[in-house]
Amino acid sequence: MSASALPSSGPAAQGVDASGVHAFLDALETAPGIEPHSLMIMRHGRLVASGWWAPYTPGRPQLLYSLSKSFTGTAAALAEAEGLLDFDAPVIAYFPEFEADITDPRSRAMRVRHVASMASGHEHETVDEAFGTDPAEPVRGFLLQPPERDPGTVFAYNQPTTYTLGAIVQRASGQSLSAYLRPRLLDPLGVGEVFWRRDRTGRELGFSGLHATTDAVARLGQLYLRDGVWNGERLLPEGWAARASHPHTPTAGAMGETDREDWHQGYGHQFWLSRHGYRGDGAYGQFCLVLPEHDAVIATTAATERMQEMLDLVWKHLLPAFGPAPLSGREAADASLRERLDRLALPAVEGSPEPPGGEADWAAGQFTASGGGPVRTAALARDADGWTLTLTGDGDRLGLRFGGDGWTVAEEPLPTAVSGGWSDAGTLSVDVLFLETPHRLALTCSRAGRTLTARWCTEPLHGGRLTSLRAPRASG
């Protein structure tokens, strides 16, 4: 957890109508395809509402996916202020060993500010080409992809741009991103442990892979809302928040989708512009919304592919709840909201905790998956304490205990919550939440034919084995 709690207040004292927060929670919990995991709302510098849907908890780090980019952009701002990098310098200047290889004039003309704003001149995502061309040095692989347009003239959501920005910071500082940020940002903000996925070069990815708490996301948003000042101390260069949230390149139509209006407002330095304010965001609903016009910050984690719909619910329900003045006589409403936030929970799998026909046909069951997928086989076993389903696949082996009502939480071999039940005498359903990620695996074992199906509700984007779905803590 963080070194000190954020200052808090009842919603009404900060002009926030609790009924609007209730309406937002109602909408989140009834929207098909949205699984909320956490919510924090700050207004006028005070935490006015926060909740975690059990079995998710406040102190657990979450995989932020591309919300990591906003932390990388922040590191670049700090490095610029210390004279370690120049936003107007050519990218190639930081990698002189590639001089002879990088001959394309547009690649050579690419500047730090271009990769910071995803305006490298490429018209499409180049992550597969960059990492495929040179897995041992993805920056070189990226610079070997000739841009179709002059740098600075076109936006493309392009992971290697942020990777390169993060690589420049790490090379110029001689430290990993998290180590560089620790004394300059994380410690002053009161952010506890963070974990960042590395590639084969040993670098932290920059564009993704950061695991941090929702509290850390809220603190970053509040720092930007206050133009880089935290508790009276300037942590970020004056004016950086405005630079980061200025639309350096237009994005309308660049994402190839017509129904994602909040992705058409422009892109700054590792922050998106929104219809309201600006934001860092990561796949599946990891959001840091900074709303200067409302003096508010909203931090969320979730599991959804309907990110635009989730933002629409914020605009529809939460924005109208932000009033211009404190509200009086709302003590009961505030208390009711607090009680609701304290008991948020994800529903467990429906079904009987024991097989309706008795355990004889299930107690030593073996099940085989058809086709591809993350699981090849599953073995079910019964002991005095309940059931264990052991999954194997791709060199992986993962034992999952479940039984009774609700979720069974385990920390080893990795943080999971498991719920299972029999819908009938022939069908067992088991859901697995990988608690340091947005990911849920839905498993169905059928007694007839001893078959298994395994389906991701949200697909992990970094690949790897089931047992890698956790924060990348140092071993030993």
Residue 90 lies in a domain: no
pLDDT digits (tens, 9 = 90+) for 221-266: 999 999 999 999 999 999 999 999 999 888 987 766 666 899 999 9
Quickly state the pLDDT bin for 42 (edges 50, 70, 90). Answer: very high
Lowest mean pLDDT among 1-5, 247-251, 412-416, 449-453: 1-5
* Residue after which a domain boundary falls, among 311, 342, 373: 342
Same domain, residue pair 294 and 379: no
* Residue after which a domain boundary falls, among 289, 311, 342: 342
Residue 352 lies in a domain: no
Residue 350 lies in a domain: no
Query: Cβ neighbours of residue 376 under 8 Å, at least 6 residues apart?
Result: 368, 369, 392, 393, 394
Same domain, residue pair 203 and 281: yes
Q: What pLDDT, on the 0 to 100 scale, is given for residue 410?
A: 97
Residue 256 lies in a domain: yes
pLDDT over threshold 90, residue 464: no
pLDDT over threshold 60, residue 475: no
Quickly state the pLDDT bin for 395 (edges 50, 70, 90). Answer: confident
Q: What pLDDT, on the 0 to 100 scale, is given for residue 300?
A: 98
Same domain, residue pair 303 and 396: no
pLDDT digits (tens, 9 = 90+) for 366-387: 999 987 788 999 999 999 889 9
Looking at every residue in the chain, the average pLDDT score rounds to: 95
The CATH number of residue 420's host domain is: 2.40.128
User: Higher-confidence residue: 475 or 236?
Assistant: 236
Pick left, alpha or beta for residue 340 (phi over 0 → left; psi -120 to 50 → alpha; otherwise beta). Answer: alpha
Domain limits for position 459:
364-468
pLDDT digits (tens, 9 = 90+) for 295-341: 999 999 999 999 999 999 999 999 999 999 999 999 999 999 999 99
DSSP string over 274-293: -SSSEEEEETTTEEEEEEGG
Q: Quick check: 267 and 155 in contact, CB under 8 A?
A: yes
pLDDT over threshold 60, residue 476: no
Same domain, residue pair 246 and 296: yes
Same domain, residue pair 415 and 276: no
pLDDT digits (tens, 9 = 90+) for 84-133: 999 999 999 999 999 999 999 999 999 999 999 999 999 999 999 999 99
Can you tell me the mean pLDDT for 71-79? 98
Same domain, residue pair 292 and 440: no
Same domain, residue pair 228 and 282: yes
CA 386/CA 389 separation, integer angstroms: 10
Same domain, residue pair 196 and 320: yes
Quickly state the pLDDT bin for 401 (edges 50, 70, 90). Answer: very high
Q: What pLDDT, on the 0 to 100 scale, is given for residue 238?
A: 98
CA 243/CA 269 separation, integer angstroms: 7
> Sign (positive/negative) of CA torsion 51, 54, 56, 57?
positive
pLDDT digits (tens, 9 = 90+) for 167-207: 999 999 999 999 999 999 999 999 999 999 999 999 999 99
- Three-class secondary structure of residue 196 per DSSP: strand
pTM of the model: 0.96
Q: What pLDDT, on the 0 to 100 scale, is given for residue 371?
A: 75
User: Higher-confidence residue: 211 or 373?
Assistant: 211
Per-residue burial over 316-348, b if 16 or more Cβ lie within 10 Å, else e, is ebbbebbeeeebeebeebbeebbeebeebebeb
Residue 386 lies in a domain: yes
- Three-class secondary structure of residue 38 per DSSP: strand
Element (H, E) at 259: none
The CATH number of residue 19's host domain is: 3.40.710.10
Q: Quick check: 177 and 169 in contact, CB under 8 A?
A: yes
Same domain, residue pair 193 and 280: yes
Residue 141 lies in a domain: no
Element (H, E) at 307: helix 307-313
Residue 116 lies in a domain: no
Q: Quick check: 43 and 291 in contact, CB under 8 A?
A: no
pLDDT over threshold 60, residue 2: no
- Strands, DSSP E only, in 283-395? 286-291, 296-304, 364-369, 377-383, 386-393
Same domain, residue pair 301 and 218: yes
pLDDT over threshold 50, residue 146: yes
Residue 235 lies in a domain: yes
pLDDT over threshold 50, residue 1: no
pLDDT over threshold 90, residue 364: no
Quickly state the pLDDT bin for 3 (edges 50, 70, 90). Answer: low
Same domain, residue pair 320 and 457: no
Same domain, residue pair 293 and 383: no
Please count the structural domains in the chain.
2
Q: How many helices (H) and strands (E) does the chain have?
A: 13, 20
pLDDT over threshold 80, residue 293: yes
pLDDT over threshold 50, residue 274: yes
CB atoms within 10 A of CB 136: 10
Q: Quick check: 348 and 342 in contact, CB under 8 A?
A: no
